[in-house]
Amino acid sequence: MIIIPLTGRLSRKNIPWITIGLILINTFVFFIVQHGERYKLNQAISYYLNSGLANIECPRYLQYLKERNTDGNTIRLREDVRLKPEELIRLYFMMQRDDEFMERLSSEKVITPDEPIYQTWKELRSNFKRLLFSIPVYRYGFIPAEPTPLSLISYMFLHGSFMHLLGNMIFLWLAGSVLESGWSRSIYLPFYIICGILACISFGLINSHSRLPLIGASGAISGLVGGMMVSYGTARIKIFYSFGFYFDYKRIPGLLLLPAWILKELFQLFFSSIQNIAFIAHIGGIIAGSGLGYLNVKVLKRLKMEVFDENTSEKTSKILEQALKRMENLDFNAAKGLLEEVLQIDPENRSALERLYEIEKHRSNQRSYHDISLRYLKYLSREPDDHEELIKVYREFIRTVKPDTIDLGLLYDIGMIFLKTNHLKEAESIMAIILKRDPEFKKLPAGLLRLGQGNLKAGNVRKASGIFRLIINRFPDSPESRIATQLIRSPKS
């Protein structure tokens, strides 16, 4: 089972730099700092087998298992037969996971100082430990039986495999980007580190005698999930969930994710066949994150509730879908209401503008048709690649409504598009309307000059000359007047 909270509030102005930085650090550590770990581990295991240390410790461990009636028959052995290398390796890994035996071995209760082999064992064990701790996972991982202050933090930047790293970084991005957007960065980074430390401590308390290193960002990330769920408990959080091959998206109250996540971790702890996953650290992290998140909500109050709001496209797509169904059923009044709702959310929604125009153009005698036509024309005038639609809508509009009602700025932009598409007669008509309504319109000289140049290019020299003279007479001090003068003297240009 997988549950992943989602947010759609990221943008160029709201980039989660700290989360990106944490991901980069984890990636750098895995590929650079931890590079060659497997080779070093193989060296250490080879030393363990070939130095004689395995032949000292493994038989003692086998005897320990037999005395405890625990897996005593896993490796059958007569007293006078040496263990095979594969049996030694198997026993070594069993032994590393047996916290009680390792504690007894370390406290010199398995091989005691009064035994003849003690000094040899002590020296071999010291050399082997030195080889192990040359490996970053052992040096910087958190070992509950031998904790260090540095390892409380450094462990969360180490990973055991690429898939371990990839899985954690995906969850770090999903949960981290939410909180970094919803909280201030000054709170987010300390919160992440503290959650990782508390997750580590909770693991250490339960596994206090373990000598295997705890590594991975999972504990800190679980803290982020806990903090996110508590902070946005009343918000409806969009989640991605998967049960085997089935997956879907759903919006649920944020607080419901907290018990669901904890139950998932407990289920995997007790029933999962996956080994070596520190579920206790995950659970400790999510509880710590929940507590600290509650503290932030109630005391620090650094919280933006809009983080989980549906983004504009998500809202409008649902309403548009409903509007289209109404149109298919010829319920145009209901469709109109839905389309207007879309435009309240997203005034520049092309689909809503186009469909609302299609509905209203059958009511051309109503004010609503006039309003949506102008709004749609204004939108189309800013679209560089849809001039044909603008020309069609403008022509339909002026059949029933005088172009005098169009704002001069919009009318000028429409005229320039007619010029660009070589519809010179209609462009001339538009420029004439502008000239009549406002002879001092600022952009008019430029528009007339373009109109004259268009006619000149089309071979209409006489018409072009008339337009150029109009510019010279009406706007004698303008730059366009000087250009028009030159064009009249040299009409071929």
pLDDT digits (tens, 9 = 90+) for 368-379: 888 999 999 999
Round to whole Å and give the CA distance between 124 and 54.
10
CB of 324 closer than 8 Å to CB of 318: no
**Residue 167 contacts by C-beta under 8 Å, 6 or more apart in sequence?**
none
Report, as ranges of residue numbers, the positions in the chain whose pLDDT lies below 70: 1-13, 70-82, 237-245, 254-255, 257-258, 260-277, 305-312, 314, 364, 491-493
**Residue 419 contacts by C-beta under 8 Å, 6 or more apart in sequence?**
427, 447, 450, 451, 454
CB of 176 closer than 8 Å to CB of 22: yes
Round to whole Å and give the CA distance between 384 and 427.
18
Q: Residue 238's CB: how many other CB atoms inside 10 A? A: 19
Q: Which among 349, 350, 351, 371 has a CA at the least distance from the CA of 360? A: 371
pLDDT at 404: 80
pLDDT at 72: 45
CB of 253 closer than 8 Å to CB of 238: no
Round to whole Å and give the CA distance between 491 and 25.
68
For residue 92, the SS3 value is helix
SS3 content of the chain, % helix, strand, coil (to 5): 70, 5, 25
Strand segments, DSSP code E, in 391-456 are none
Tokens of 264: 């998932």
Tokens of 138: 């052992």
Residue 278, Ramachandran bin (φ over 0: left; ψ between -120 and 50: alpha; else beta): beta
Find residue 242's DSSP bridge partners: 2, 247
Round to whole Å and give the CA distance between 354 and 447.
28
Round to whole Å and give the CA distance between 140 and 153.
9
The one-letter amino acid code at 398 reads I
CA distances from 478 to 231, 245, 352, 466 (A): 62, 71, 42, 17
**CA torsion angle 203 253 316 184 (round to 10):** -50
CA distances from 110 to 100, 212, 308 (A): 11, 19, 57
Q: Which residue, chain included where needed, has tokens 């909770």?
A: 202
CB of 258 closer than 8 Å to CB of 290: yes
Round to whole Å and give the CA distance between 229 and 231.
6
**Residue 470 contacts by C-beta under 8 Å, 6 or more apart in sequence?**
448
Query: How far does CA 190 lie from the centroid of its chain?
Result: 21
HSE, side-chain direction, 13 A CA sphere, residue 379: 19
The one-letter amino acid code at 16 reads P
pLDDT at 8: 53
Round to whole Å and give the CA distance between 173 and 7.
11
Tokens of 152: 């409380």
CA distances from 470 to 285, 437, 455, 457, 463 (A): 79, 16, 14, 18, 11
